[in-house]
Amino acid sequence: MSGISRRDLLCSGLAISASSLLARSAWGRTAALVAGYPEAGSAGALAAVAPREQLLFDFGWKFQFGHGTDPVRDLGFGNDQGDFAKTGEFEFSKAKFDDSKWRALNLPHDWAIELPFVRDEEQNSHGYKPLGRRYPETSVGWYRREFEIPASDLGRRITVEFDGAFRSVLIFVNGCFWHSHDCKSGLIPRSNQDFWLPKLRQNKARDGKNLEALAELGWKALVIWQCELKDRRALRPKIKRFLGRRGSPTKQEP
């Protein structure tokens, strides 16, 4: 599966700046195109020359760690709160906010992957990463991005869609033989079945128990079989659906 990266799964499109795209927005072009038409104000004329436009916003973001227990280090959030929820004025989302000291990056980005491993058995459910209430300094992250909306888009419906925003997700790549997949590679050998049958059944039962335990802890798991790696084109949409690009992650697919 080395040929499919997380960036491949969550990113697609051209690397152009959003500011240059917005300056040439579809609605701006529409205004110029329909100006000379008698029916310019009709919904039909707009629909004919102004199709929906989608812009890639994966580039030009800023990132900074917050803090789970210290409001001073968490943009002022957290006073009199018992959880990581954030409510308030969100001053950092306003245009004049100084983010010059924030880290510049592109999406997708997952700060947990960048964190070092810790020798802490209580963190096994977090992949031995310093996350959660016992590690407040690396458990809150803030992202920020500025973009311009031209006057020609006034009155139009504009939405920002976040793809692949998820947590507590695991993807397993299982060997078809050792984990008893229902494909040719998963067939049980005809010889020495007294050994293979209990061994493979034990593996399959263990897999089921592990997936149930992960679900109880709030993790969502997807099993990819070794034989599926041969067809990247078919595998890619399966992983995208699981990661939430077309909805929330669900239980594993067979």
- CATH of residue 221's domain is 3.40.960.10
Q: Is residue 30 part of a domain?
A: no
Number of structural domains (the chain) is 2
Residue 46 inside a domain? The answer is no
Q: Are 132 and 191 in the same domain?
A: no
Contact yes or no for 59/26 (Cβ under 8 A):
no
Residue 107 is assigned to a structural domain of this protein:
yes
- Continuous H helices in the chain: 6-10, 18-23, 26-34, 43-49, 111-114, 193-216, 232-242
* Pair (67, 110) in one structural domain: yes
In this structure, the answer to whether residues 119 and 194 fall within a common structural domain is: no
Domain that holds residue 229: 169-242
Q: Are residues 181 and 141 in the same domain?
A: no
Domain termination residue (choose one: 146, 177, 194): 146
- Give a yes or no: residue 203 inside a domain: yes
Per run of 10 residues, the mean pLDDT along the chain (length 254 residues) is 47 35 42 48 52 84 90 78 64 86 91 91 85 89 89 85 71 92 90 91 92 84 92 87 53 39
Answer yes or no: is 37 within a domain. Answer: no
pLDDT at 247: 38
Q: Report how far residue 209's alpha carbon sits from residue 25's, in angstroms, rounded to the nearest whole number.
A: 52
Looking at the fold, whether 81 and 137 belong to one and the same domain comes out as yes
Q: Are residues 138 and 201 in the same domain?
A: no
pLDDT at 226 (0 to 100): 93
- For 8, other C-beta atoms within 10 Å of its C-beta total 13
Query: What three-state secondary structure class fits 182?
Result: coil
Asked if residue 109 belongs to a domain, the reply is yes
68 and 131 fall within a common domain: yes
The answer to the question of residue 155 being in a domain is: no
Instruction: List the beta bridge partners of residue 62.
Output: 104, 144
User: Are the C-beta atoms of 103 and 62 separated by less than 8 Å?
Assistant: yes
Same structural domain for residues 138 and 173?
Answer: no
Q: Is residue 199 part of a domain?
A: yes
Q: Residue 174 in 3-state DSSP? A: strand
C-alpha to C-alpha distance for 221 and 211, rounded to whole angstroms? 7
What pLDDT shows up at residue 244? 65
